[in-house]
Structure 1
Amino acid sequence: MDMRFGRKHLRLLAPVLLALLFAGCATTQVSGPASTPQDRAAFAQAAELARAQAGLSGQAKAENIKQIERLLASVDDATLSRESAKLPAGDPLYAFAGKALLNRGLPLPRPFDSAARWNFDNRPPAEGDGYRPPVKLAVLLPLSGNLATAAAPVRDGLLAGYFGESRRRPQIDFYDTAGTAAGAVDAYGRAVAAGADFVIGPLGRDEVSAVFARGELQVPVLALNRGNAAPPPGNAGFSLAPEDDGLIAAEYLLGHERKAALVIGGSDDNGMRASRAFREQFQSRGGKVVDTLSVTDAPGDLSAKLSAAAAAGADSVFLAVKGGTARLLAPQLALAGFGGKSRVGTSQLASGTGKVEQDSALDGIVFPTDVWTSRGVSGLPAAANTDLPSARGPAARLFAFGYDAWRLTAYLERLIERPNTELDGATGTLKLDGFGNVLRKPAWSTFNGGRATPIRGGG
């Protein structure tokens, strides 16, 4: 079924959506310590592997990527910055090195070589702030099927950004993917045939993988999830995947000089994926994972294992569990000596919370959150003041995600062509790496007196 929305439908939807939403409310010069022979050797080995990447495929290619990332992770900041700046244009290592720099919050020496893959000539000239949206935008979402519930807040967040913009806006059409790989491929083909010059979506992991499997895409895509491979050149991917929370938490602890972590992850898919990503990132950057515990929603008595981890020198805890599970774990962690140590959760920590008396057990645990729900963003009302159902409660995060998808589409050229440019979004501060992946720096919050409280300075 074709679920395209015409302009007449959008004009009717705009005032309803907005009324509900607003109810109640260059070249870098690098200096630093001299590189060690070990760091230079690791960087050189990574360069050799990157040059061999083009001749690999399948599992061999995936393992080669992991080894490149491990080698670069072992290199200190000064060496990574200095040696990256020396790489010539077109060097295959630069995309990997640049991604490592961005993950550490370090500046790029120059734009990524992938910038040449993008073409914005069909768009009218950019505004002074870089605003340059497409001419005809297609949005691929599962408007029916099992993923329709998740798609609704994404759609409404996107439209809130779209209708909130007073400058030129593209024609916009929505296509139903029905939540299937075949549906996504069909929807993409119909969008291209209808003359779209940019596509947002699809949303499901299998959908994204199916569209990316087409190889070189006729019309560029901003996918809304991770596929089983990186976006094809000239395309981009944006996600709120559990892996992102694991990577973010690892960098948080490393940035606070924590070197030995205890990992406690839920036995569900989100918990396992976040825990795995944390372990890989933390260990590749020189950290040590003392132990990894997989727990159910009712974890039981873990006192012996927690005490053993503390005795082994764990200086921090990563909690990839929901709030209710964390409330049961917190007293055990305190008794084992972790009460005063760094404890970092994922965005799941806020799930199942809201009762101050119970949530006081979570006091001191830090977790990533969206900028909009924690401290607000310009252009949107306070999250607590909206009457739009798809922007409240657990759906608020997906609403912010959809809002950011629109902003990325409109400011994509600026992110691609200007190194070290960031976009302030509702889910966090956004950047683009050399592989087309949107990197997100979230806001940080902690529980204080049983209430989630933003951390001053962002964490």
Structure 2
Amino acid sequence: MRNQARRISRTLLLMAALLLAGCASVTYAPMAPPRAPTDPNLVAANELAQRYPTLRGPERAQATQEIEQLLSTVPDQALTDFAAALPPGDPMYAHAGRVLQARGLPLPRPFDLGALWAVHAGNRPPADHDGYRPPTRLGVLLPLSGGLATAAAPVRDGLLAGYYGERRARPEIVFYDTAGGAGAAYERAVAEGADYVLGPLGQDEVAALLARPDRLQVPVLALNRAGDGAPAGSFSFALAPEDDGVAAADYLLARNVRQVLVLNGGDDNARRSVDAFRQRLEAGGGTVSDMLVVTGETPADMTEAMRNAMLKEDGAQAVFLALRVAQARTIAPQLVAAGFATRPRIGTSQLYSSGRADQDSVLDGIVFPTERWAAAGVAGLPMASTVASSLPTARGPAARLFAFGYDAWLLTAFMERLVTGSEAELRGATGLLRIDGEGNIVRTPSWATFTGGHVVPIADR
């Protein structure tokens, strides 16, 4: 533990060095009762949404997809008007709001998270003009030792970068090692006075902590998806493969692409991103026209199968590559030979640059989601190249986790802004951050492509 304390102390010093560069009466007319919807898809979606709170697991996920598919045909104004007329607490509002957000439209009112926020805010001082309202003592649950310590280190350092970059009053921050169990770390943080807990990081740790029969004395911002039945007062923020799939589907739907060939790398990350991609694409009126499974690091030639997927009736207008970078290097020339060179080719965040332009040049033209920090920079945080030159935990693939940690700090400090605003967002290091009706942080990434083997940002639209 003494060595761990020295390492954290050195990190704190390095972070500091990098970051020092009359009264009026108002009356309200009674609101008219909302008119019953006439659109049959809106009626069906509303009926399903009323049953949604009782569903769990696969049934809940299937209901979400069906509701979004039904709402995909409802015009913008009709959906906005219907959502605006829903009473507070109606389960339909979370679904309608999520679809409006995906279309880039404002919410008629904030999501119904006021009760959750009341638990979060506790006895904090009032918010500043920009919404800054951090906790008074922050307990951070991370695996500081053991097998996950390597992944936790960049998250910790990114969090500290945000913490020391803030000049206003900051909370006391204490790190707790979850190697001995997230539940024990949480109890210790609470016993020592934490009024807010950030973490844990592992999916199993999050599920176990949030499923505690005694629930939570102090609210939690989990650093992974919370799943069904998360207790009131807990929110979640994650860098999940599903995010890549949703982002890719939204990117293509915004460009009127409806028929997509999917190349599935076959591992768990690929499966999760593909499932999310398919659900989001179908909810937006598109379809996966073909799916090819790519196996091994040097897959066999699939040019003919890809060409057939494009040339058939209602063939693929674009391709989604849920592949590791080594697989993508083999497949990319085959896509060009199959005729996809002038059609959208969208990858996942696994297509990070190796720094070897001679190898990555075959990926030229493929678009993939990336962090805002790397693509365009973030106010209050030095450029990614500057931090990487001094801090190993901000280099290469670890830079994504560093940005994630930075955004975790932003969320602890500015959650009130997201919860109470109908158009509220945070311009974080990982992307544009919003909140959905179930307390999940929704992340819109920036985009990049390869040119001459080098990663080149694409201007956000």
The AA in structure 2 aligned to 1:314 is A
Structure-to-structure mapping, 1:137-176, within 5 angstroms: 137-176=138-177
Contact 1:231 1:437 in 2 (8 A): no
Contact 2:226 2:235 in 1 (8 A): no
Partner of 1:275: 274
Provide the rounded CA distance (Å) in 1 between the counterparts of 2:104 and 2:234.
23
Q: Which amino acid aligns with 1:309?
A: A
Residues 37 and 43 of structure 2 are in contact (CA less than 8 Å); yes or no, is this contact kept in structure 1? Answer: no
Partner of 1:31: none
- Deviations along 1:237-277, whole A, 9 cap, x unmatched? 11110000000000000001101000012122111111111
Deviates more, 1:57-66 or 1:150-159: 57-66
Aligned to 1:413, the other structure's residue is in SS state helix
Which has the higher mean CA deviation after the structures are superposed, 229-238 or 53-62? 53-62
DSSP 3-state at the match of 2:16 = helix
Superposition pairs of residues 37-436 of structure 1, within 5 angstroms: 40-57=39-56, 59-119=58-118, 120-178=121-179, 183-214=181-212, 216-229=215-228, 231-296=230-295, 297-312=297-312, 313-350=315-352, 353-386=354-387, 387-436=390-439
Deviation at 1:209, TM superposition (A): 0.7
* Unpaired stretches in structure 2, ≥5 consecutive residues: 22-35
Following TM superposition, by how much is the alpha carbon of 1:402 offset from its aligned partner in structure 2, in angstroms?
0.2
Aligned to 1:301, the other structure's residue is in SS state: coil
Partner residue, 1:16: 14
Displacement of 1:69 = 3.2
Matched residue of 2:244: which SS? helix
Amino acid at match of 2:225: R
The two structures have a TM-score, normalised by structure 2, of 0.89
- Structure 1 pair 58/269, CA: closer, same or farther in 2 (3 Å)? closer
Instruction: From the superposition, tell whether residues 354 and 434 of structure 1 become closer, same or farther in structure 2 (CA, over 3 Å).
Output: same
Aligned Cα root-mean-square deviation (Å): 2.4
The whole-number CA distance in structure 2 between the counterparts of 1:257 and 1:246 is 17
- Decide whether the 8 Å contact of 2:94 with 2:437 is kept in 1: yes
Amino acid at match of 1:359: D
- Can you give the 5+ residue segments of structure 1 that lack an aligned partner in the other structure? 26-34
CA 1:52 to 1:305, structure 2 compared with 1: closer, same or farther past 3 Å? same
Paired residues, what number? Answer: 439
Distance 1:270 1:446 in 2: 21
What's the offset of the Cα at 1:227? 3.5
Compute the TM-score of the two structures, normalised by the length of structure 1.
0.90
Task: Give the whole-Å Cα distance in 2 for the aligned partners of 1:2 and 1:248.
Answer: 42
Q: Distance in 1 between matches of 2:76 and 2:291?
A: 28
Q: Distance in 2 between matches of 1:427 and 1:115?
A: 26
1:111/1:417 contact within 8 Å kept: yes
- Structure 1 position 449 matched with structure 2 position 452: yes
Deviation at 1:90, TM superposition (A): 1.9
**CA distance in structure 1 between the aligned counterparts of 2:14 and 2:368, rounded to whole angstroms:** 34
Q: What is the Cα deviation at residue 95 of structure 1?
A: 1.1
Identity rate of aligned residues, in percent?
Answer: 54
The amino acid across from 2:394 in the alignment is A
Residue 264 of structure 1 contacts residue 320 of structure 1 at CA under 8 Å; is this kept in 2? yes
Larger displacement relative to structure 2 (43-52 or 413-422) = 43-52
Deviation per residue, 1:163-218 (Å, 9 max, x gap): 1111101011111111x7xx011211221222211111000010111112126422
Kindly provide the CA deviation profile for residues 84-124 of structure 1, in whole angstroms up to 9, marking residues without a partner as x: 12212221110111122212221100011122322224101
